[in-house]
Amino acid sequence: MVYAYLRQTSEQNSLSLQQQEILAYTLPKDIEIDKEVIEYSSVNHPIEKRAEFEEFIQTLVEGDSIVVSQLVTLSSKIEEIIKLVNCMLTHNVNLYITSSKSLINRESKLVDIFPLLRNIDIEEREKRNQKGRPKGSRSPSKFDQYRSRIIALLKDGMSVSAISRELGVSRSSLKDYIESRELKGLIEKSWVEVSSTQEDDNISTLLICPYEKN
């Protein structure tokens, strides 16, 4: 199974742009995407707060592949990246990174992986020195609770006006939400099945290796 994994992180790395980068990388290589998985969570959320991400990781089996536009799509924290990469190597899951045209698997050498990790470490240090609201952060919305329902209705071809009536909410506010989260454009451009799950802030802890279950 080959998954295209997208995560809304910042304006410079929009979901639409991630789609384009993944397609530009996979098509010439004849890599066929089986499923597109989209995560909506704050860029600052620690991995243990990303319930849908843990659930996705736990579904992976030996021989599966994940394609991301950048390594930071998985996490912006170097220690989390190291843990995830280690888990993927342990369970023989391939990780394609389109921005660096890299493939991380059991045949990868440390000399190839280290520069990718070092770049994330540098970016993380720079962010710590920034003042004000972190770049790419997004405030919670009252519409987040309806996200899965909105996506499903948009996929069924329902208009924003009809969805607002269905949910009993303001059309203009809903329109702003759909546009800010790129929901409509993303669904229209999606080339495979989209899997989108609700974010759950009540997740307790992340296992040392997300593949391992109690």
Most confident of 10-19, 20-29, 144-153: 20-29
Tell me which of 43-52, 80-89, 112-121, 182-191 is least confident: 182-191
Predicted structure pTM score = 0.64
The 10s digit of each residue's pLDDT in 110-121 is 777 777 776 665
The 10s digit of each residue's pLDDT in 148-164 is 788 778 888 889 999 99
For the beta sheet containing 35-39, the strands, ordered from the edge strand earlier in sequence to the opposite edge, are 102-104, 94-97, 65-68, 2-7, 35-39, 193-196
Band of pLDDT at residue 128, cut at 50, 70 and 90? low
Beta bridge partners of 104: 95
More confident: 50 or 95: 95
- Break the chain into its structural domains and give their ranges: 2-136+192-196, 142-189
CATH, range 2-136+192-196: 3.40.50.1390
Most confident of 97-101, 110-114, 139-143: 97-101
Q: What pLDDT score does 125 carry?
A: 57
Band of pLDDT at residue 54, cut at 50, 70 and 90? confident
In 3D space, the residue among 206, 190, 207 whose CA is nearest the CA of residue 38 turns out to be 190
